[in-house]
Amino acid sequence: MKQLKLTGFVIFLFFVPESLTLPTQPQDVDDVSITQKFIEENVGYITIIAFAQYIQEVSFEEVEVLVKAMTEYRDKCLGGMTLPMCSKLANDVLLENICALEGLPQKHNFLHCCGKVDLERKLCFFHNKKADVGFLPPLPTLDPEEKCQTYKNNRESFLNNYIYEVSRRNPFVFAPTLLTVAARFEEMTKTCCEEQDKANCFRTKAEPVIQYLKASSSFQKNVCGALMKFGLQVLESINIAILSQKFPKIEFKELTSLLKDVSSKYDGCCEGDAVQCIRDRSKVMSHICSKQDSISSKIKECCEKKMPERGECIISSNKDDRPKDLALREVKFTERENVCEERDANQTIFMAEFLYEHSRRHPELSIPELLRIAGVYEDLLKECCHAENPPDCYRHAEYKFNETTEKSLKIVQRECEHFQNLGKDDLKYYYLIKLTKIAPQVSTEELTFLGKEMVTALATCCTLSEEFACVDNLMDLVLGELCGINENRDINPDVDHCCKTNFAFRRPCFEGLEADKTYVPPSTPQDLFTFHTDLCQAHNEELQKKKDRFLVNLVKQRPELTDEALKSLLTDFTDVVVKCCKAEGPEACFNEETPKLGVR
């Protein structure tokens, strides 16, 4: 396997891919050949990602067998592209090879997928992915010295294993993002293995890589969930809002042309077609850079970089400045006499143009808020265009928009006040209780993750000048994690209603939810509230995780308790841990003190 030539290689988070087949519209030949060469050189890594994401239970040894088969397939096709097997789509070849691995379909329970063909087979493998990875063993950790020695002894096996472990735990992350993470991991390993204090180096340099992976994962799952649950129109609305904010000088005609590239075939990336993701990401970048004069003044240097570095550069670029001649309001949607006639001529184009004009004028608003305003405007026109005097009716649209934003702003202000008043720990407990009460069916691991992410969002945003957009965007991503990517995920009637009814308004919907009244606590497992001396060996972070799990499990077992009573029991539990870990016989102490908590 060739060197991982990846620095900066990343899917454009705000854009989406075209089909796997070569583009029918003109594209720079060099870009196509460079992308093809990249895929050929990294076929092993791409195979590991796809296999580990589709079948998360598969062992590393089983993955290595498939890598060998796919590498042999590549070599045969490079030697003779006219062979019949070389005309197949890459993902089809991959799935055929997965199904051909002796005994594996039965062992890992995906034989039913192998009996299907084409799109049905791809969707079957997609639905086999599990967002909750609690069934997997803990991520293996190596001592820094051991890690460096392993890398030095066998770089290829070391990186293969890393990509395998990260991919199976992030089954919905796009392949180019995982390749970027792998490249950064190798870069970090090279640097830290030369350092005296290797442990500190790894700890410091790993954090931004982890944050990059988490942010990418959250965004990609959110957008894929929108596509799966609400369809292409909602996906296009998200992309219009994002593109118009980032590139406010782009003309609407150019925007619609770009959308044809970025929104038409997003399903490939969402369903894990790694090669399609990589190829079409290159096509999108070519489109942007070929029209950079009319799209943005901030990406010139990025477009001068070689592929694949330019992609990450464009993502990192700042929002372009708003054109000086752009009026603060676009009157054609609220003050003209013929608004209804224009809407009726082509409602899809009309609403897309409204969202474009409003988004480019309001960089201070979040993407969900822009979609809410578009929804409010669409509903207003439905009413006004049947009124006796439509212009008098829709002339008050700006008031409706401000009213909508005011409601969203109050939610954000309340959340930031909670953050300022409660502090990180108490705020996390607040969200753990709230989330568990409204969605007790969700696993303990997932609930503790979501509670922590909500606090992170507020800690990140509540001191920024762009507080509103930051909080609303990030908190909406956390709700996207809860709702999940699959359209068939069911939690309980109230949560499902918020997740599946209206993408833009799910934040306000969740804000109004109370404890799930349909929930019946399961019988308490005998060992759920049994504690041992391992609590005394746990470091601060690990002990905090155990406390979080205790609280979530407590809410699941005793949902009728008030928030105050639950927090009081958490305090009692903390006191028991402190007391027993100081005792001469911690185990005996836990056995004596735990029943007094009254949680069993």
Cβ atoms < 10 Å from Cβ of 332: 13
Cα of 359 vs its chain's centroid, Å? 22
* Length of the chain, in residues: 600
CA angle 13, 410, 482 (to 5 degrees): 45
Whether 291 and 300 have beta carbons less than 8 Å apart is answered as no
Cα of 371 vs its chain's centroid, Å? 19
Whether 580 and 571 have beta carbons less than 8 Å apart is answered as no
Whether 319 and 245 have beta carbons less than 8 Å apart is answered as yes
Cα of 252 vs its chain's centroid, Å? 28
Enter the tokens of residue 28: 């720079």
Cα of 307 vs its chain's centroid, Å? 24
Q: Please state, in angstroms and rounded to a whole number, the distance separating the CA atoms of residues 221 and 212.
A: 14
The 10 Å CB-count burial string (b at 16+, else e) for 348-369 is: eebbbbbbbbbbbbbbebbbbb
Helix (H) or strand (E) holding 331, with range, is none
Residue spans of beta strands (DSSP E) within 90-157 = none
Whether 63 and 52 have beta carbons less than 8 Å apart is answered as yes
Q: Residue 563: helix, strand or coil by DSSP?
A: helix
Peptide bond into 308 cis (omega under 30): yes
Rg of the chain on CA atoms, in Å: 26
- Residue from 227, 214, 213 nearest 270 by CA: 227
Enter the tokens of residue 280: 């079409």
Q: Please state, in angstroms and rounded to a whole number, the distance separating the CA atoms of residues 188 and 250.
A: 38
Enter the tokens of residue 446: 């997932």
- Residue from 386, 387, 401, 415 nearest 507 by CA: 415
Sign of CA dihedral 238, 244, 246, 247: positive
Enter the tokens of residue 558: 């005793």
Sign of CA dihedral 123, 127, 133, 136: negative
- Residue from 213, 165, 159 nearest 11 by CA: 213
Q: Is residue 92 part of an annotated ligand binding site?
A: no
Cβ atoms < 10 Å from Cβ of 193: 17
Contacts of 451 (CB under 8 A, 6+ apart): 428, 431, 432, 435, 548, 552
Q: Please state, in angstroms and rounded to a whole number, the distance separating the CA atoms of residues 320 and 261.
A: 21
Burial class (CB in 10 A: 0-12, 13-18, 19+), 422: middle
Q: Please state, in angstroms and rounded to a whole number, the distance separating the CA atoms of residues 158 and 163.
A: 9
Whether 43 and 71 have beta carbons less than 8 Å apart is answered as yes
Residues belonging to the binding site are 273
Residues belonging to the binding site for Zn(2+) are 273
